[in-house]
């Protein structure tokens, strides 16, 4: 598939943009590049860099997590135009997700999830464009989206994980993705213990989710039981740190005092930690039978199995941990400290070899801080997350300062004033959480663009009432100085996002009939003659064909109380010729892509006559695409 690239504006067009931006006449507030606070930019430069002319395509796909909407939003960069929503943990009538049997079963009875961290599959540390994974911070789950058709294909729930936040970070050859417990609960899952027993009975768990190399199918590899801290953000090692996984953790005080305000009690100690796991060692120990089955999961206990996990001390109440493209530098950010800490994985390995430990917590050695730390970088107030470009720069979001700091990765001169390595700062609007650079989690980031995912975007858009849209700002990082060049908005509530070169994805246009790339649906029908209704006792099964602009059959006769199974095949082989199958007053809306078959099963529990119709506009005669379900008392 050939893709047209976005092109630079022609000279007359630039002139027009400038002229129109300074023309007279009443203007809505905030136009003409007027500063609404934070993040200034030159309007012409910004317009040039973000304008994607009609018919042209963006350079990158940006996949935003949808937070508690349970979805993923997809935009193009640099235009920042929203192009689709992928429902993951939440039903979405727009694509019929959560209404047909298969997606309903995948949702597992939940009607929402809290998606935070999307992660691409990788080959050799590069985004390979096959799958996208995302965690559910609410219900201990992780999902896989197939990037051939932009659809959720699997949702995995595993035992013992309470609030899966430090997820889904992918290892360099997609061997594993991470999962971890954000809010420790009594162990194993389902155990009752009062919060007064927090320190003894509550536990954290981190897990490695194994990926099938060909299909991406996720399965539980192993779990490690860890102290009752809150395991927050994660990352997977690469190159120099390949084989390791990292998670920040807070509340190393291991307390939950009723009415005691965790914000205070969890910040008493000067340091918290990064938990580092050797996943190959965990895999090996599990294969050797050293894991015990607890709550239905193979669990390794560091008290009994050594050399699988270590703690790296880090400034208190940390949030992000990010591995640099070379894998050598591990960046930890303590949100209450004005610095990020850079660890050297070579020093970490040396400290492990020399047993250079400060202490041991629940069987997990704590590496000596001074031995593993490379530097503390004075980036600014409230550092959260760090991303990278291809030129040895790191970019850290500063929540409190509402800014992005650009700084240099090592090497540093010994004894140097570290302030000199913080080379630029740009204000954003406001209270930035995550940030993402183009291919920023791969071993070869692109640089070019950075998107700041801001948490509180007061008043930079038309007002829509008290719930303010989430804002994302596009920042040009191709030069020495960062420049904010676009404000974009989404629905609630992106946390992290990932950005991939557009030409790495080549999504399908239709499900081709008999395409071996997709599993054959045994209930597909491709001719009107094969359409039929069969009754077996109290079950009525329908094989239905949907094509412009009719359903066959278009009348379904059942009795009240019957179980009705409808398999609908959309036999179209033309792009964007989707059909919907909605039954009035039965809360059913299945949407079927060209060449796809979906099944919906329900009980005919209301008698009467119910129209069904096609919900997805398909032709001039779309309105005529309808039929009746007759339910006899
Ligand atoms: Cu909102 Cu990564 Cu869940 Cu930070 S997380 S901001
Ligand atoms: Cu088929 Cu509208």
What tens digit of pLDDT does each residue of 610-625 get? 999 999 999 999 999 9
Query: Which tokens hold the place of 326?
Result: 């070379």
Average pLDDT over residues 531-553: 98
Residue 292: predicted pLDDT: 98
Q: Calculate how far, in angstroms, residue 615's C-alpha sits from the geometric centre of ligand 2.
A: 6
pLDDT at position 204 over 60: yes
Task: Give counts: helices (H), strands (E), the chain.
Answer: 8, 42
Residue 292 phi, psi dihedral angles, 5° rounding: -105, 145
| 588 three-state secondary structure | strand
Is the CB of 319 inside a 6 Å radius of any atom of ligand 1? yes
Question: With the CA atoms of 216, 220, 224 and 226 taken in that order, what torsion angle do they form, in degrees rounded to the nearest 10?
Answer: 90
Cα–Cα distance for residue pair 553/229, rounded to 1 Å = 58
Going by CA atoms, what residue is nearest to atom 3 of ligand 1?
116
Cα–Cα distance for residue pair 137/180, rounded to 1 Å = 9
Place of tokens 């038309």: 462
pLDDT at position 15 over 50: no
Pairing relationship of beta strands 497-501 and 470-476 according to DSSP bridges? unpaired
Nearest ligand 1 atom to the CA of 165 is 3
Nearest ligand 2 atom to the CA of 614 is 2
Residue 459: predicted pLDDT: 76
Q: How far is CA 37 from the centre of its chain?
A: 29
Nearest ligand 1 atom to the CA of 453 is 6
pLDDT at position 316 over 80: yes
Going by CA atoms, what residue is nearest to atom 5 of ligand 1?
495
Give the burial string for 460-490 (b: 16+ CB within 10 Å, else e): beeeeeeebbbbbbbbbbeeeebbbbbbbbb
- Bridge partner list, 115: 67, 136
Least confident of 41-50, 104-113, 349-358: 41-50
Ligand whose nearest atom lies closest to the CA of 495: 1
Q: How confident is the model at residue 336 (pLDDT cuts 50, 70, 90)?
A: confident
Q: Calculate how far, in angstroms, residue 594's C-alpha sits from the geometric centre of ligand 1.
A: 37
Is the CB of 433 inside a 6 Å radius of any atom of ligand 1? yes
Residue 3: predicted pLDDT: 41
Q: Calculate how far, in angstroms, residue 56's C-alpha sits from the geometric centre of ligand 2.
A: 29
Residue 120: predicted pLDDT: 98
Q: Calculate how far, in angstroms, residue 626's C-alpha sits from the geometric centre of ligand 2.
A: 9
Whole-prediction pTM: 0.93
Residue 37: predicted pLDDT: 46
Nearest ligand 2 atom to the CA of 615 is 2
Going by CA atoms, what residue is nearest to atom 1 of ligand 2?
579
Q: Calculate how far, in angstroms, residue 576's C-alpha sits from the geometric centre of ligand 2.
A: 11
pLDDT digits (tens, 9 = 90+) for 186-203: 999 999 999 999 999 999
Q: Calculate how far, in angstroms, residue 472's C-alpha sits from the geometric centre of ligand 1.
A: 14
Q: Ligand 2 — pocket residues by CB below 6 A?
A: 549, 579, 614, 616-618, 622, 625
Task: Judge contact between 538 and 604, C-beta under 8 A.
Answer: no
pLDDT at position 38 over 80: no
Is the CB of 384 inside a 6 Å radius of any atom of ligand 1? yes
Nearest ligand 2 atom to the CA of 622 is 2
Going by CA atoms, what residue is nearest to atom 6 of ligand 1?
433
Residues sharing a CB contact under 8 Å with residue 560, sequence separation 6 or more, in sequence order: 604, 605, 606, 607, 631, 632, 633
Q: Calculate how far, in angstroms, residue 476's C-alpha sits from the geometric centre of ligand 1.
A: 23
pLDDT digits (tens, 9 = 90+) for 217-240: 999 999 999 999 999 999 999 999
How many C-beta atoms surround the C-beta of residue 5 within 10 A? 11
Cα–Cα distance for residue pair 193/187, rounded to 1 Å = 9
Report the percent of the chain where pLDDT is more than 70.
94
Average pLDDT over residues 401-426: 97
Residue 615: predicted pLDDT: 97
Helix, strand, coil shares, percent, the chain, to 5 = 10, 45, 45
Q: How confident is the model at residue 267 (pLDDT cuts 50, 70, 90)?
A: confident
Cα–Cα distance for residue pair 362/37, rounded to 1 Å = 49
């Amino acid at each position: 598939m050939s893709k047209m690239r976005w092109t630079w504006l022609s000279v007359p067009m630039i002139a027009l943009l400038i002229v129109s931006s300074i023309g007279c006449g009443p203007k809505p507030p905030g136009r003409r590049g007027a500063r609404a606070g934070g993040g200034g930019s030159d309007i012409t430069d910004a317009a040039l860099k973000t304008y994607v002319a009609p018919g042209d395509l963006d350079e990158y796909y940006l996949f935003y997590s949808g937070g508690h909407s349970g979805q993923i939003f997809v935009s193009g960069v640099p235009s920042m135009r929203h192009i689709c929503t992928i429902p993951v943990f939440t039903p979405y009538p727009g694509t019929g997700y959560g209404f047909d049997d298969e997606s309903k079963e995948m949702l597992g009875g939940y009607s929402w999830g809290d998606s935070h961290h999307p992660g691409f599959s990788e080959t050799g540390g590069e985004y390979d464009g096959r799958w996208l994974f995302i965690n559910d911070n609410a219900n201990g789950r992780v999902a896989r989206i197939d990037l051939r058709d932009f659809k959720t294909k699997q949702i995995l729930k595993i035992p013992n994980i309470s609030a899966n936040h430090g997820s889904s970070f992918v290892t360099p050859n997609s061997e594993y993705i991470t999962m971890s417990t954000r809010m420790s609960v009594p162990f194993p899952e389902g155990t009752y213990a009062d919060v007064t027993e927090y320190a003894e009975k509550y536990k954290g768990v981190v897990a490695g989710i194994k990926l099938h190399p060909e299909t991406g199918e996720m399965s539980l590899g192993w779990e490690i039981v860890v102290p009752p801290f809150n395991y927050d953000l994660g990352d997977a090692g690469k190159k120099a740190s390949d084989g390791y996984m990292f998670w920040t953790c807070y509340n190393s005080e291991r307390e939950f005092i009723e009415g005691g305000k965790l914000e205070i009690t969890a910040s008493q100690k000067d340091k918290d930690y990064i938990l580092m796991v050797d996943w190959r060692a965990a895999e090996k120990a599990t294969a050797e039978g050293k894991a015990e089955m607890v709550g239905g999961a193979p669990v390794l206990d560091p008290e009994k199995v050594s050399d699988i996990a270590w703690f790296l001390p880090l400034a208190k109440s940390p949030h992000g941990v990010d591995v640099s493209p070379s894998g050598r530098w591990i960046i930890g950010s303590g949100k209450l400290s004005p610095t990020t800490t850079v660890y050297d994985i070579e020093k970490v390995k040396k400290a492990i070899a020399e047993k250079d430990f400060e202490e041991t917590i629940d069987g997990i050695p704590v590496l000596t801080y001074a031995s593993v730390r490379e530097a503390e970088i004075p980036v600014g107030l409230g550092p959260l997350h760090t991303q990278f470009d291809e030129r040895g720069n790191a970019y850290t979001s500063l929540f409190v300062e509402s800014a992005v700091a650009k700084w240099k990765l090592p090497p540093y001169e010994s004894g140097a004033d570290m302030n000199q390595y913080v080379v630029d700062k740009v204000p954003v609007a406001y209270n930035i959480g995550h940030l993402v650079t183009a291919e920023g989690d791969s071993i070869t980031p692109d640089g070019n663009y950075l998107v700041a995912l801001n948490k509180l975007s007061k008043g930079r858009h038309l007002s829509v009432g008290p719930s303010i849209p989430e804002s994302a700002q596009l920042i040009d990082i191709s030069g020495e100085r960062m420049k904010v060049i676009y404000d974009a908005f989404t629905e609630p509530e992106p946390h992290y996002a990932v950005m991939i070169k557009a030409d790495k994805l080549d999504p399908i246009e239709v499900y081709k009939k008999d395409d071996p790339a997709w599993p054959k649906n045994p209930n597909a029908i491709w001719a009107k003659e094969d359409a039929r209704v069969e009754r077996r006792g109290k079950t009525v099964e329908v094989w239905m064909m949907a094509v412009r602009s009719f359903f066959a059959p278009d009348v379904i006769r059942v009795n009240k109380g019957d179980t009705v199974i409808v398999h609908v095949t959309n036999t179209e082989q033309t792009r964007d010729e989707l059909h919907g199958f909605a039954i009035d007053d039965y809360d059913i809306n299945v949407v079927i892509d060209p060449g796809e078959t979906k099944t919906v099963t329900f009980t005919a529990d209301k008698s009467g006559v119910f129209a069904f119709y096609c919900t997805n506009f398909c032709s001039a005669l779309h309105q005529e695409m309808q039929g009746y379900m007759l339910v006899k008392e």
